[in-house]
């Protein structure tokens, strides 16, 4: 209405992934407790990732690993908890691993790109 030609990009946290994890490694797995998930399409203003536990045991702790076919999977982030912030890493082959403090209960993690 005011003829303002400027487009303002709001630098707000943007959810980029939601992951459901078991409370322990999946059957037959040493570490893996979730399916693979993708972190990509990061907004240009983002400088970090924030990890939030939105369902299940709030004091769960977990690692994030990268699924490497025909190789040893690599741990990308260690000891994440609700509200943890990390550097930005992108991949289509991340998974949650080695959950602790869950009493065997599953949990949901949301990943946000934050300024």
Q: For residue 97, is it within any domain?
A: yes
Domains contained in the chain, number: 1
pLDDT given at position 10: 74
In a domain? residue 57? yes
Establish if 106 belongs to a structural domain: yes
Let me know if residue 68 belongs to a domain. yes
Tokens encoding 39? 């972190």
Domain presence at residue 2: no
40 found inside a domain: yes
User: How confident is the model over 28-64, as pLDDT tens digits?
Assistant: 999 999 999 999 999 999 999 999 999 999 999 999 9
* Number of neighbours of residue 31 by Cβ within 10 angstroms: 16
Q: Give a yes or no: residue 70 inside a domain.
A: yes
Q: What confidence score (pLDDT) does residue 11 get? A: 86
Distance CA 91, CA 100 (A): 24
9 within some domain:
no
pTM: 0.91
């Amino acid at each position: 209405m005011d003829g303002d030609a400027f487009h303002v990009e709001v630098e707000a946290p943007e959810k980029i992934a939601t992951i459901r994890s078991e409370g322990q490694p999946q059957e037959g797995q040493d570490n893996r407790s979730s399916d693979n998930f993708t972190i990509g399409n990061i907004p240009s203003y983002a400088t970090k990732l924030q990890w939030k536990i939105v369902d299940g045991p709030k004091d769960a702790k977990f690692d994030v690993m990268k699924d490497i076919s025909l190789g040893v999977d690599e741990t990308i982030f260690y000891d994440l908890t609700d509200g943890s912030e990390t550097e930005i890493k992108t991949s289509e082959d991340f998974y949650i691993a080695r959950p602790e403090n869950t009493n065997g209960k599953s949990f949901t993690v949301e990943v946000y790109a934050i300024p």
